């Protein structure tokens, strides 16, 4: 592994952990482009940034700050370096995140705009929780500098996820001229294969596509809709001046008002599609008016500024958490002489448990105490720091085992799915081959029938010719018989006999 400290040349090291695989397919993952864009803006802010795929998570290197982009894959902090700050940025799949996972971090950033959900998470976990909404790269996604000709009416960018996503199916069923960029659609909707333009579109080509599009479809995972998360597609399309028809998310409506069109069922979807045809110029104008807001409040630049600010505030916040705890500890120390042993022991046990539940950085704030207080504090908890380290190591080992187990199960599931896909592809190929053979058989049969028909026609024609020849033959025979019966023929026969005899005698 490269020496990051040497490469960083004195800069603070930030590591971005994202859930894409470390192979060529990573360019099909939105997490990959999100991580690359975040790295670009962090580097501009003066830090040295490294991106690690999920296959590299166990290769922990030097880091001052680790930002885990929490999507479908879970990452648990490695506490071998106690000075590293771990930040979770939950961007999607919130239902998959456990309380234990939240509490393993020093700071949790939630990509939800729903205040009720943030309050719910704050009540559940011990670590600081902050709102950090999704964002887009406004250097790439922006209104076209020159108006582009609209090549596509309706566009959907996204993989099938192995399901018939409602917005796509409804659009096709109602004969909306939809064009799709995404993986899995050709197999899922073979009857609409002509609507699938490609399995993937590079991120840098998306703006050009949006500039040539009238409207784009969008939808979310159910848990994202429920908890107030939105995906990047809405921001990227709107930044390019393209109206979006999306499944209903109440918080998006609060943020963007009527700049985004929503549907909750098929009937509303069709109504909105008709509305777009009638009021398209006005709808597009509302979207274009949002550009300034998007640029200022939903850019990567603004999110990086927030992250850097949160990182600075984190130490002070954890120090405050420890200070509140330490006041309770001092209060217990002052009450020691006035309490009976059993009561004191119960409170002492409770305060130890409270300390064990403090965020990692808050626990380490104990090191900032004055020497006298720190020695007194540590003397009251003999072996506690070591037990915390052991407990943390055991928890880390347990979580890594669980993660390894999940990865193994996922690998098995992927192998099974791959086998099923290959089996399905083989069946499709065999079916196609059989259909082709059947088609060839039909064609051969048709050719045989054609030749047979031709033979019958020729036979019929020959039969007619034979019948005519027989008729002519009968007529000729009749004429010959008539000639033979006349006197002239008999006289000629009589005269001709001596002549024939004379010729034979001469030859003899």
For the chain of 508 residues, list the mean pLDDT of each consecutive stretch of 10.
82 93 84 94 95 88 92 85 88 90 92 92 90 95 88 90 86 92 87 89 91 92 86 94 92 91 92 92 94 94 94 72 69 74 73 66 59 65 56 64 72 78 80 81 81 77 75 78 71 63 64
Residue whose token pair is 């720190």: 374
The per-residue pLDDT for range 243-255, each reduced to its tens digit, is: 999 999 888 999 9
The strand pair at 13-17 and 196-198 is best described as: unpaired
Closest CA to 16 of 75, 94, 72: 75
Query: Residue 203 in contact with residue 139, Cβ under 8 Å?
Result: no
d(CA 176, CA 155): 10
Residue whose token pair is 């990452």: 75
At 508 the pLDDT is 58
d(CA 508, CA 420): 102
The per-residue pLDDT for range 95-108, each reduced to its tens digit, is: 899 988 998 898 99
- pTM of the entire predicted model: 0.68
Output the DSSP codes for 411-444: HHHHHHHHHHHHHHHHHHHHHHHHHHHHHHHHHH
User: Rounded to the nearest 5 degrees, what angle is found at the Cα of 77, between the Cα atoms of 130 and 67?
Assistant: 45
Residue whose token pair is 């803006």: 41
At 329 the pLDDT is 72
Alpha-helical regions (H) of 205-299: 206-211, 222-227, 232-239, 250-256, 266-288, 291-297
**Other beta carbons less than 10 A from residue 211's beta carbon:** 20
Query: Which residues in 434-455 are b (16+ Cβ under 10 Å) and which e?
Result: eeeeeeeeeeeeeeeeeeeeee
Tokens at 21, concatenated: 């695989």
Q: What share of the chain is helix, strand, coil (3-state, %, to 5)?
A: 65, 10, 25
d(CA 284, CA 241): 7
Angle at which helix 30-44 crosses helix 300-335, to 10 degrees, equals 80
CA dihedral for 426, 430, 436, 439, sign (positive or negative): negative
**C-alpha dihedral (220, 225, 230, 231), degrees to nearest 10:** -20
CA dihedral for 412, 416, 421, 422, sign (positive or negative): positive
């Amino acid at each position: 592994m490269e020496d990051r400290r040497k490469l960083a040349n004195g800069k603070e090291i930030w590591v971005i952990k994202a859930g894409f695989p470390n192979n060529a397919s990573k360019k099909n993952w939105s997490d990959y482009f999100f991580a690359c864009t975040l790295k670009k803006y962090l580097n501009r802010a003066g830090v040295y940034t490294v991106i690690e795929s999920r296959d590299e998570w166990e290769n922990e290197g030097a880091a001052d700050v680790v930002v885990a982009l929490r999507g479908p894959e879970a990452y648990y902090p490695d506490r071998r370096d106690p000075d590293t700050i771990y930040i979770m940025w939950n961007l999607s799949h919130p239902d998959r995140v456990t309380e234990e996972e939240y509490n393993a971090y020093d700071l949790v950033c939630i990509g939800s705009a729903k205040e009720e959900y943030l309050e719910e998470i704050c009540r559940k976990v011990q670590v600081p929780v902050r709102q950090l909404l999704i964002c887009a790269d406004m250097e790439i996604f922006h209104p076209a500098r020159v108006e582009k000709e609209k090549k596509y009416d309706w566009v959907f960018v996204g993989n099938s996820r192995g399901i018939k996503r409602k917005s796509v199916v409804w659009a096709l069923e109602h004969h909306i001229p939809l064009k799709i960029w995404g993986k899995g659609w050709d197999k899922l909707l073979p009857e609409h294969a002509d609507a699938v333009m490609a399995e993937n579109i590079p991120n840098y080509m998306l703006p050009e596509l949006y500039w040539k599009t009238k409207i784009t479809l969008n939808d979310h995972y159910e848990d994202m809709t429920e908890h107030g998360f939105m995906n990047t597609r809405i921001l990227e399309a709107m930044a390019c001046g393209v109206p979006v028809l999306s499944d209903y998310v109440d918080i998006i409506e609060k943020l963007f008002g009527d700049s985004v069109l929503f549907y909750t069922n098929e009937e509303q979807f069709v109504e909105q599609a008709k509305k777009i045809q009638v009021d398209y110029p006005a709808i597009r104008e509302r979207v274009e008016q949002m550009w300034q807001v998007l640029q200022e409040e939903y850019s990567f630049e603004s999110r990086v500024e927030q992250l850097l600010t949160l990182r600075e505030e984190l130490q002070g916040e954890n120090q405050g958490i420890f200070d509140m705890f330490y006041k309770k500890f001092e209060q217990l120390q002052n009450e020691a002489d006035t309490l009976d042993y059993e009561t004191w022991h119960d409170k002492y046990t409770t305060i130890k448990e409270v300390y064990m539940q403090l965020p990692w950085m808050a626990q380490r704030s104990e090191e900032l105490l004055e020497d006298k207080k720190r020695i007194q504090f540590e003397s009251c908890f003999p072996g506690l720091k070591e037990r915390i380290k052991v407990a943390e190591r055991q928890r880390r080992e347990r979580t890594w085992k669980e993660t390894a187990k999940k990865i193994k199960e996922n690998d098995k599931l992927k192998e099974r799915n791959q086998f099923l896909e290959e089996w399905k592809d083989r069946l499709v190929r065999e079916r196609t081959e059989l259909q082709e053979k059947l088609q060839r058989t039909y064609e051969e049969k048709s050719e045989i029938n054609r030749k047979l028909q031709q033979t019958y026609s020729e036979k019929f024609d020959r039969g007619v010719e034979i019948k005519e020849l027989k008729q002519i033959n009968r007529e000729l025979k009749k004429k010959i018989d008539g000639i033979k019966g006349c006197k002239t023929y008999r006289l000629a026969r009589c005269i001709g006999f001596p002549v024939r005899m004379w010729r034979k005698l001469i030859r003899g």
